Structure 1
């Protein structure tokens, strides 16, 4: 009795202390998450370096982390800096009236009377639509400009989080396998199930980041490149926007280059509009169909609609980190239920055993009690 009470008391305190520690780590959630993702994604590089250089964990982890910084982090920081600068410039142009979204809508209506007829049939208030379109553009660009100011004011905090992420990633690369073994010993759900869940976590992290992010980056880069070649203002800004939209399944970069192509046709730039449509549909659109199966394969093993809902739910709940967290939660949900069905599924008591089983037990199905 005393021993059972002590166990329950210890487990309660264990849960409370763990919850308190997680709450303490809440401000650094993003840094910890991306450190774990870096550890998962670059673990194969770490293994290859260890195979070549022997057991020199500090050197191999530092080399792997340096490759990550050069290949990923520095380019991302450069693109984000340019993105916020162009977003701030767009906000100023909209606020001063240099750019008028309503004027673009008028040009499209004049060039395509069928659009005007459709709006009349639907009894759409065109002036109200123009006002809402302008407000939406101003709000969106204002949000970017506001975040630009916040990034400038919180530069120290940003670099502290970045440094913390790299610091944690170093130790995860160096000691990741030991930490997994420690978790297997600590979690009370069975080593086989724990290994399965860890494997699913790694698969989803690789599939989401390596697949979705790489494909979205290529699509956005191609979109920004064709905008730059065609002389469309804000090519870098729209390229980054296309990257963000391409992270969401089903949506894609067509939400940006499609309306731009329609506007080019409306103002009489038929060649540019045709080039944008051919490049958008024939190159940007096919990147997803060609590269995603190569980079992702069937790692997530989730239906497309579940991927869509989990990604959107993750973005709404967790912000930009949600495009990783959402699918991860969905896959862990499916993995837990798969383990439950496999390990805890019991046939109903009223269901008789198959005749083959009775024969194996040395009984004839036709024999009765004597």
Structure 2
């Protein structure tokens, strides 16, 4: 009786201390998560370095981390800085009256009166729609301006987060395999199940980060290039914006280039509008339609509609980190139910992922 009480008390304290630790780490969720993602994505690079240099953990992890900094971290920081600077300039031009978003929308309405007539049967007031679009446009540029001010005022905090991410990534690269084995020993789920879940975690994280970021970079670069070639001002800004919105499956960069094409047609630049539309559909859109199922859907083994819904839900719940967290939660949900159906259900033959694949975690983490 006393032994049971001791065990229950210990488990209760264990849960309490664990929850306290989670809340303690909550402010650093972003750096921790991306440090784990870096370790997973660059694990193959680290294995290549190990084959070249042998078992030298500190040096191998350091070389891998430097590769990550050169390939990913520094270019992303440069792009974000450029985006914020372009956004501040845009906001200042709106405030000074040099740019009037409402005038652009009115010009489109005047050139294409059929738009207002088409919306009327659906009870959509074009004037109200115009005001919302202007507010969204102004709000977006104002948000970028505030971010620039925030980064300037919280420079120390910003660089602290980046330094913490890099610092943790080094240790995850060096000690990742040992940490996974330690967690497997600690969790009371059964080693085979835990290895399967860790394999799925690594697989989905690697696929969503690499796939979505690669698609975003390609679409943003293509969009910025065509804007620059057509002489549309702020090509860098709109290219980065297209890269960001391309994280949304099925919608993506069309949120930017479609209104731009409509405006070009409204002001009489029909040739430019046709070129932008053709390029957007045949090049930018095709890149998304071809690459996303291959890079994201295939590796995560999730249906396209689950990828879309989980990405949107993840963005709502977790912010920008949600484009990875959403599909990750969905994949783990399906993995847990797959294990349950196989081990406790009658129709176990419908599950295609056998427990034996769990051994792949040693190659993935």
TM-score normalised over the length of structure 1: 0.90
Paired with 2:124 and 2:183, the residues of 1 have a C-alpha distance of: 59
Match of 1:143 in 2: 143
Q: Which has the higher helix share?
A: 2
Distance 1:289 1:117 in 2: 32
Does structure 1 conserve the Cα–Cα contact (< 8 Å) formed by 2:293 and 2:304? no
- 1:133 maps to 133
Partner of 1:14: 14
1:150-179 Cα shifts (integer Å, max 9, x gaps):
111111101111111111100110111111
Query: How far does residue 239 in structure 1 lie from its aligned partner after superposition?
Result: 1.2
Alpha-carbon contact 2:116-2:126 (below 8 Å) kept: no
Alpha-carbon contact 2:297-2:304 (below 8 Å) kept: no
Cα distance in structure 2, aligned partners of 1:45 and 1:194 = 25
**Aligned pairs, number:** 347
Query: Secondary structure, in 3 states, of the residue corresponding to 1:232?
Result: coil
Aligned partners of 1:53 and 1:292: how far apart in 2?
Answer: 35
Q: Deviations over 1:86-129 (max 9, x none)?
A: 11111111122211122112222232232243355556544444
Q: Structure 2 CA distance, aligned partners of 1:27 and 1:305?
A: 32
Q: Match for residue 62 of structure 2?
A: 62
Determine the C-alpha separation between the residues in 1 that align with 2:98 and 2:122.
31
Q: Which has the higher contact order (CA 8 A, sep 6+)?
A: 2
For 1:124 and 1:20, locate their aligned partners in 2 and report how far apart those are by CA, in whole Å: 50
Paired residue for 1:2? 2
User: Could you say if the C-alpha distance between residues 7 and 241 of structure 1 is closer, same or farther in structure 2, counting changes exceeding 3 Å?
Assistant: same
| 8 A Cα contact 2:310 2:326, kept in partner | yes
Unmatched segments (≥5 aa) in structure 2: 348-365
Task: Quote how far apart the aligned CAs of 1:64 are.
Answer: 0.3
RMSD (Å), alpha carbons: 1.6
Q: State the Cα distance separating 1:62 from its structure 2 match.
A: 0.3
2:311 match: 311
Tell me if structure 1 keeps the 8 A contact 2:314–2:324.
Answer: yes
After TM superposition, list the pairs within 5 Å mapping 1:109-120 onto structure 2: 109-119=109-119
Q: CA deviation at 1:207?
A: 1.1
Conserved? CA contact 2:297–2:303, under 8 Å? no
- Match in the other structure for 1:73: 73
Equivalence map 1:167-182=2 (5 Å): 167-182=167-182
**How much has 1:304 moved relative to structure 2?**
2.1
Relative to the length of structure 2, the TM-score reads 0.91
Instruction: Report the CA distance shift for 1:120/1:22 in structure 2 as closer, same or farther (over 3 A).
Output: closer
Unaligned ranges ≥5, structure 1? 348-370
Secondary structure at 2:189 match in 1: coil
Greater mean deviation of Cα atoms: 304-313 or 176-185: 304-313
In 2, distance between residues paired with 1:301 and 1:328? Answer: 11
| CA positional deviation for 1:250 | 1.3
Q: Answer yes or no: is the 8 Å Cα contact 1:215–1:291 preserved in 2.
A: yes
Q: How far apart are the structure 2 equivalents of 1:171 and 1:140? A: 37
